[in-house]
Amino acid sequence: MQISPILSALRHHKAGTALIAMQIALTLAIVCNTLFIIQQRVAHLSRPSGIDEAHLLRIQNQWVGQHGDYAPLLAADLATLRHVPGVVDAYATNSVPLSGGGWSTGLGLKPSQNGPTAMTAIYFADDHTLPTLGVKLVAGRNFRADEISDMPALSKPTPPFVIITRALASKLYPHGDALGKSVYVAPDKPSTIIGVVRRLQAPWTGNFAASFSDNSTLVPFRLITNGTNFVLRVRTGQMGNVMRTAPKALYAANRMRVIPDDDGVMPFSAIRAKAYASDRGMAILMAVICVMLLAITAAGIVGLTSFWVGQRRKQIGVRRALGATRGDILSYFLTENLLIGMGGVLLGIALAIGLNLWMVTRFEMQHLSLWYVLAGAVALLLLGQGAVFAPALRASRVPPVEATRSV
Amino acid sequence: MLKMNHLSKVYRTEVVETYALRDFNIDVKEGEFVAVTGPSGSGKTTFLTIAGLLETFSGGEYHLDGIEVSQLNDNARSKIRNEKIGFIFQAFNLIPDLNVYDNIEVPLRYRGMKGAERKQRIMDSLERVGLSSRAKHYPAELSGGQQQRVAIARALAGSPRLLLADEPTGNLDTQMARGVLELIEDIHRDGATIVMVTHDPELAARAQRNVHIIDGQVVDLSEEPRFHSHPEETTQSQR
Ligand SMILES: Nc1ncnc2c1ncn2[C@@H]1O[C@H](COP(=O)(O)OP(=O)(O)OP(=O)(O)O)[C@@H](O)[C@H]1O
Ligand SMILES: [Mg+2]
């Protein structure tokens, strides 16, 4: 209703108006993009690994001294672990999801192919692996016990057959007919795909495996070396007990080993927390920055409006004398703030998109969803109205008699 | 039009109570032109702010246009100020951020008047005060006399039944003061009731009736010589 006189009055307060509008614009640009990054971080760190983490425990074992052949030791340890009360199943492997270290390789569809068709993580597995991890087969079958062979460290794995994840299968064979087909893990000898599992994440959570984090290949090997990862499936509620009793059982069977104190026995909840610690820290830091920026902007609006109200006490009194109600004065300041806010928000939308485009080219960011910008714009306008309310209320309480008392 | 009975106004500060008005009685008839005089601090401005519903009073009765105003809430008082009362202040009290046109428009907008009618009234009242060419000027670009004429135009545009003026010429030289008074007399001829506080005996003499306030009470001087000046009054009027 009174937009045009408010606008013309604002022309006499250019500096303050521009300051607040700029602050709103910058806040919008930064907050939109930051929230977008946070959302991506959160999506990243909450992606499923495909394994039944709540029931899984990893034990890292290192043999010390001269042992000769590790194969019987490994078999004995697995037998020991499977008999620990509370343990449902167990297997030994080179690496597990989220652990940060493991083997990766390129897969081809032809012998000695130039450049891989897909990258994949390699997990050593046996017939106990899928039941232990709780990973579901969607096609084909599991390994049989008699199909698992010993694989000394430092040798090139040439598996006769493999089980792969669905993500990898559709990368290799986009028509969904991977089962029974060949894939080249080794350059010259084909491996037959005998099974496809729904999901099994690679060990790496950082940028290294960003492009193939759901590509995993299970190979039917026991890793015969002096260090092993045991993965235990534990009954519900038994995690604490097994974490104490399982290492004891291993030591009782053979003392010539080291299970590191700090991370030798880790439930998967801890492995996950460690894997994403920096992602989560970054997301929290960014959220704190957002909140601080919003607080500073709100404080700026409160400050400037309070200053304006003080400066305009006399004219508020005059307006009241001329017939303005308290509501008229309140709505004057709310409208004024809304107009400044809309100016700032328009500029902010342009800035937000510009900032995002810059990050898209510089840091391989994704394109900012327009919904973020619009939601941010509405949120900032509401923030402005909230911030201006207290000073506007004070303005509405300036008595009309203020018009007559010239100090 | 304006009738106060045994009205009192007390200003309370932490330590003192000041009776700005006590047992204050006045009856201004519809269409009358009353000049209010009195020494500084006697309560003239206080009387005017209460009469104009800018302030509440402590005791007694005040009927404005037949309405007992102490019963009215803040919004009702705003509405009466807006529709029935015009104010002219010593310090002009134009809004510095708005140009002449927008200043005159302020009370009309609060009345919810349509744009076309607002424009008509603004142009008419500017014409009457002889400032049609200054509509786009800002108050700071006008002389004191011109600013006061804009303030009169602002009061005029709302066609008030009651015009309250607190030393409207106090900040003006004699010639400009005369012009302003002529405008006020003009408004009076159109039928408005005028109450004007002044220190200037010459201006007071042109009113139909003089009301003298001393120490927060009315002393009717209609039987006495039309004015007499107190010594402190003449010094104060130079402020
Ligand atoms: N807000 C206030 N608080 C306390 N006392 C006040 C207030 N306003 C006015 N007064 C006191 O009330 C009395 C009347 O003041 P008022 O302004 O009405 O005088 P006046 O007749 O208009 O004087 P002048 O000719 O100087 O304008 C004075 O004693 C003044 O100090
Ligand atoms: Mg006064």
* 407 residues of chain A, pLDDT tens digit each: 578 889 888 888 899 999 999 999 999 999 999 998 898 889 888 999 999 999 999 999 998 887 678 888 999 999 999 999 999 999 999 999 999 988 999 999 998 888 899 999 999 999 999 999 999 999 999 999 999 998 877 677 789 999 999 999 999 999 988 999 999 998 888 999 999 999 999 999 988 888 899 999 999 999 888 889 999 999 999 999 999 999 999 999 999 899 998 889 999 999 999 999 988 999 999 999 999 999 999 999 999 999 999 999 999 999 999 999 999 999 999 999 999 999 999 999 999 999 999 988 888 778 888 888 999 999 999 999 999 999 999 999 999 999 887 65
**Is the minimum distance from the CB of B8 to ligand 1 under 6 angstroms?**
no
**Of B75, B95, B111, Cβ closest to residue A318:** B95
What pLDDT shows up at residue B220?
A: 64
For residue B17, what are the β-bridge partners?
A: B12
List pLDDT tens digits, range B70-86.
889 999 999 999 999 99
pLDDT above 60 for B232: no
B122 touches chain A (CB under 8 A): no
When pLDDT is cut at 50, 70 and 90, the band that residue B237 belongs to is very low
Residue B11 in contact with ligand 1 by CB distance below 6 A: yes
Long-range Cβ contact pairs of B48-51 (< 8 A, separation 24 or more): B48/A404, B48/B164, B48/B166, B48/B195, B48/B197, B49/A401, B49/A404, B50/B4, B50/B7, B50/B9, B50/B21, B51/B2, B51/B4, B51/B162, B51/B164, B51/B195
- Using the Cβ of A3 and the Cβ atoms of chain B, whether some distance falls under 8 Å is answered with no
Q: Which of A309, A404, A407 to mutate to test the interface with B (most CBs of B within 10 A)?
A: A404
A to B CB pairs, distance under 8 Å: 89
The domain limits of chain A are 4-45+278-404, 66-255
User: What is the token pair recorded at B225?
Assistant: 């010589």
Q: pLDDT tens digit string along A38-83?
A: 988 898 889 999 999 999 999 999 988 876 788 889 999 999 999 9
Q: Is B42 in the pocket of ligand 1 (CB under 6 A)?
A: yes
SS3 A218: strand
The whole-angstrom separation of Cα A370 and Cα A350 is 11
Both tokens of A351, joined, read 């800035």
Ligand 1 centroid, distance to B195 Cα (angstroms): 18
Measured between CB atoms, which of B75, B93, B99 is closest to A318? B93
Cβ neighbours of B96 in A, within 8 Å: 12, 315
Minimum distance, in Å, between the CA of residue B121 and any CA atom of chain A: 16
Which of B78, B105, B154 is opposite residue A324, by nearest beta carbon?
Answer: B78
Residue-level pLDDT at A370: 87
Using CA coordinates, name the residue in chain A closest to B79: A323
Nearest to A322 among B49, B90, B110 (CB): B110
Summarize the confidence of residues B83-111 as an average pLDDT: 93
pLDDT at B235: 41
Closest residue CA from atom 26 of ligand 1: B40
Predicted pLDDT of residue B15: 87
**Contact list, B98 vs chain A (CB under 8 Å):** 5, 8-9
Asked if residues B144 and B171 have their Cβ atoms less than 8 Å apart, the reply is: yes
Question: How far apart, in whole angstroms, are the C-alpha atoms of residue A276 and residue A98?
Answer: 9
Mean pLDDT of all residues in B91-106: 94
CA atoms within 13 A on the CB side of A384: 29
| Residues A399, B102: C-beta atoms closer than 8 Å | no
Among all residues of chain B, which has the CA nearest to that of A327? Answer: B75
Chain B CB contacts of A315 under 8 Å are 93, 95-97
Is B229's pLDDT higher than 90?
no
Write down the pLDDT at residue B223: 52
**Interacting residues of B225 by C-beta distance below 8 A, sequence separation 6+:** none
Structure token pair of residue A207: 């940028």
Mean pLDDT of B124-149: 93
Smallest CA–CA distance from A5 into chain B, residue: B102
Task: Let me know how long chain A is.
Answer: 407
Number of CB atoms found within 10 A of residue B226's CB: 14
Contact yes or no for B78 and A320 at CB 8 A: yes
Our CA angle for A130, A134, A139, nearest 5°, is 55
| Nearest bound ligand to the CA of residue B43 | 1
Question: Ligand 1, closest atom to CA B167?
Answer: 27
CA distance A33 to chain B (A): 38
Of A5, A323, A325, which is closest to B98 when you measure between CB atoms? A5
CA B215 to chain A, closest CA, distance in angstroms equals: 19
Interface test with B, best of A311, A318, A328 (most B CBs within 10 A): A318
Say yes or no: CB of residue B20 within 6 Å of ligand 1: yes
Residue that wins the pLDDT comparison between B15 and B100: B100
Which residues lie below 8 Å from residue A280, measured CB to CB, with a gap of 6+? A41, A45
- pTM, 2 dp: 0.81
* ipTM associated with this complex: 0.90
Which among A297, A289, A281, A401 has a CA at the least distance from the CA of A344?
Answer: A297
Digit-coded pLDDT (tens) for B14-41: 888 889 999 999 999 999 999 999 999 9
CA B166 to ligand 2 center in whole angstroms: 7
Question: What tens digit of pLDDT does each residue of B139-187 get?
Answer: 999 998 899 999 999 999 999 999 999 999 888 888 888 888 999 999 9
B125 pocket-lining for ligand 1 (C-beta < 6 Å): no
Decide if B98 touches A, using CB distance below 8 A. yes
CA of A257 to the centre of ligand 1 (A): 97
